[in-house]
Amino acid sequence: MMKSLLPQSQLRRSAAAAAARSSGGGAASGGADGAGSDGGAGGRAPAASTFWFLLHALCCLVSLFLGFRFSRLLFVLLFSTTALYSSTSSSSSSAVLRATTTTTTTTTTTTTTTNTITLSFAATANPPPSTSANYTALDSAASGTSGHTQSHVVVGRHGIRIRPWPHPDPVEVMRAHRIMERVQEEQRRWYGIKEPRQVLVVTPTYSRAFQALHLTGLLHSLRNVPYPLTWIVVEAGGTTNATASLLARSGLTIVHIPFPDRMPHDWADRHATENRMRLHALRVIRERKMDGVIVFADDSNVHSLELFDEVQKVQWMGAVSVGILAHTGTAGQPRLSEEDKQNMPLPVQGPACNSSGQLVGWHTFNSLPFAGKTATVVGEAAPVLPRGLEWAGFVLNSRMLWKEAEGKPDWVKDLDAVGENGEEIENPLTLLNDPSSVEPLGNCGRKVLLWWLRVEARADSKFPQGWVIQPPLEVVVPAKRTPWPETTAVLSSELLDTKQDQEDRRLSRTNRSSRSRSTTKRKGDVQGQEN
Amino acid sequence: MVSMMGSRAGWRRRAVVLLLVAVSLSAMPATLAAAAAADSVEAGREAEQHTERISGSAGDVLEDNPVGRLKVFIYDLPRKYNKKMVTKDSRCLNHMFAAEIFMHRFLLSSAVRTLNPKEADWFYAPVYTTCDLTPAGLPLPFKSPRVMRSAIQYISNKWPYWNRTDGADHFFVAPHDFGACFHYQEEKAIERGILPLLQRATLVQTFGQENHVCLKEGSIIIPPYAPPQKMQAHLIPPDTPRSIFVYFRGLFYDTGNDPEGGYYARGARASLWENFKNNPLFDISTDHPPTYYEDMQRAVFCLCPLGWAPWSPRLVEAVVFGCIPVIIADDIVLPFADAIPWEEIGVFVEEKDVPKLDTILTSMPIDDILRKQRLLANPSMKQAMLFPQPAQPRDAFHQILNGLARKLPHPEGVYLQPGEKRLNWTAGPVGDLKAW
pLDDT digits (tens, 9 = 90+) for A20-48: 444 433 333 433 444 434 444 444 567 88
| B302 within 8 A of B296, measured Cβ to Cβ | yes
- Percentage of the residues of chain A whose pLDDT score is greater than 90: 23
pLDDT in tens, B373-396: 999 999 999 999 999 989 999 999
Question: Which band of pLDDT confidence, cut at 50, 70 and 90, is reported for residue B17?
Answer: low
Residues of chain B neighbouring A155 (CB-CB closer than 8 A): 186-187, 190
- Is B34 exposed, middle or buried, given 0-12, 13-18 or 19+ CB atoms closer than 10 A? exposed
Q: Is the pLDDT of residue A430 over 60?
A: yes
Between A and B, how many CB-CB pairs are < 8 A? 205
Whether A15 has a pLDDT exceeding 50, the answer reads: no
**Burial (Cβ within 10 Å: 0-12, 13-18, ≥19) of residue A408:** middle
Instruction: Return d(Cα B261, Cα A112) in angstroms, integer.
Output: 7
Using an 8 Å Cβ cutoff, are B308 and B177 in contact?
A: yes
Q: Which residue of A has its CA nearest to B280?
A: A168
> Which pLDDT belongs to residue A95?
33
CB A131 within 8 A of CB A113: no
Average pLDDT over residues A138-150: 44
Per-residue pLDDT at B153 exceeds 70: yes
Contact A145 B259 (CB under 8 A): no
Confidence check on the interface: ipTM exceeds 0.95, yes or no: no
Q: How would you list the strands of the sheet with B347-348, edge to edge?
A: B282-285, B244-249, B299-305, B324-328, B347-348
Q: Measured between CB atoms, which of B355, B362, B366 is closest to A161? A: B355
The mean pLDDT of B363-379, rounded to a whole number, is 94
* Interchain contact, B262 vs A172, CB within 8 Å: no
User: Is there a contact between A33 and A19 (Cβ–Cβ < 8 Å)?
Assistant: yes
pLDDT at A28: 38
- Rounded to 5 degrees, φ, ψ at A343 are -85, -5
pLDDT given for residue A32 in this prediction: 40
Instruction: Provide the β-strand partners of residue A352.
Output: A361
pLDDT at residue A223 greater than cutoff 60: yes
A161 interface with B at CB cutoff 8 Å: yes
pLDDT of residue B47: 34
Q: Which pLDDT value is given to residue B10?
A: 59
> Do the chains contact at B138 and A4, CB–CB below 8 Å?
yes
Q: Are B295 and B244 in contact (CB under 8 A)?
A: yes
User: pLDDT per residue over A198-219, tens digit each?
Assistant: 999 999 999 988 999 999 999 9
What is the pLDDT at residue A45? Answer: 64
Nearest-by-CA chain A residue for B310: A1
What are phi and psi for residue B323, nearest 5 degrees?
A: -100, 130
Question: Which of the four pLDDT bands, split at 50, 70 and 90, describes residue B155?
Answer: very high
Task: Tell me what pLDDT residue A361 has.
Answer: 86
Residue B346's pLDDT is: 95
Cα(A3)–Cα(A498) distance, rounded to whole angstroms? 85
Please indicate whether, in this complex, the C-beta atoms of A191 and B364 are within 8 angstroms of each other: no
A166/B281 CB distance under 8 A: no
Give residue-wise pLDDT tens across range B215-265: 999 999 999 999 999 999 999 988 888 999 999 999 999 998 888 888 999
Q: Is A148 near chain B, with CB under 8 Å?
A: yes
The fraction of chain A above a pLDDT of 70, given in percent, is 61
Note the pLDDT tens digit of each residue in A45-96. 678 889 999 988 888 888 888 776 665 566 667 655 444 333 333 333 333 3
Over residues B193-200, the mean pLDDT reads: 91
Measured distance CA(A529)–CA(A333) in Å, rounded: 32
pLDDT at residue A76, rounded to an integer: 61
Say which range, A297-311, A373-387, B287-301, B366-380, has the weakest mean pLDDT. A373-387
pLDDT at B429 (0 to 100): 87
- Extended strands (E) in B175-249: 202-205, 220-221, 244-249
pLDDT of residue A343: 65
pLDDT at site A341: 66
Cα end-to-end distance, chain A, whole Å: 81
Q: What is the CA radius of gyration of chain A?
A: 41
The CA distance from A16 to A12, in Å, is 6
**A68 to chain B: which residues are within 8 Å by CB?**
none
CB A314 within 8 A of CB A394: no
Interchain pair B138, A5: CB under 8 A: yes
pLDDT in tens, B116-138: 999 999 999 999 999 999 998 88
Q: Is the pLDDT of residue B74 over 90?
A: yes
Are A145 and B193 a contacting pair at CB < 8 A?
yes
State pTM to two decimals. 0.63
Mean pLDDT of A397-416: 80
| pLDDT recorded at residue B175 | 93
| Each residue's pLDDT tens digit, A146-182 | 444 667 788 888 999 999 988 899 999 999 999 999 9
pLDDT (tens digit per residue) in A377-392 = 887 777 788 877 889 9
Per-residue pLDDT, A260: 93
Reported as a single tens digit per residue, the pLDDT across A351-379 is 888 888 788 888 888 777 777 777 788 87
**Cβ-defined contact of A169 to B262 (cutoff 8 Å):** no
* Contact status, residue B337 vs residue B219, Cβ threshold 8 Å: no
**What residues form DSSP beta bridges with B205?**
B174, B221
User: What is the CB-side half-sphere exposure of residue B171 using CA atoms within 13 A?
Assistant: 28
Going by C-alpha positions, the residue among B177, B351, B271 that lies closest to residue A154 is B351
List Cβ neighbours of A191 (8 Å cut-off, separation of 6 or more).
B237, B238, B239
Q: Does pLDDT of A428 surpass 90? A: no
pLDDT of residue B245: 96
Per-residue confidence band for A124, with pLDDT thresholds at 50, 70 and 90: very low
Chain A residue nearest residue B140, CA to CA: A5
Cβ–Cβ below 8 Å for B238 and A167: no
Q: Which is more confidently placed, B314 or A117?
A: B314
| CA nearest to B296, candidates B244, B370, B366 | B244
CA distance A261 to chain B (A): 46
Residues B100 and B120: their CA atoms lie apart, in Å, by 20
* Cis bond upstream, residue A471 (ω within 30): yes
Please give the pLDDT value at position B22.
53
A8 to chain B: which residues are within 8 Å by CB?
A: 259
Residue-level pLDDT at A331: 53
**pLDDT score at A372:** 72
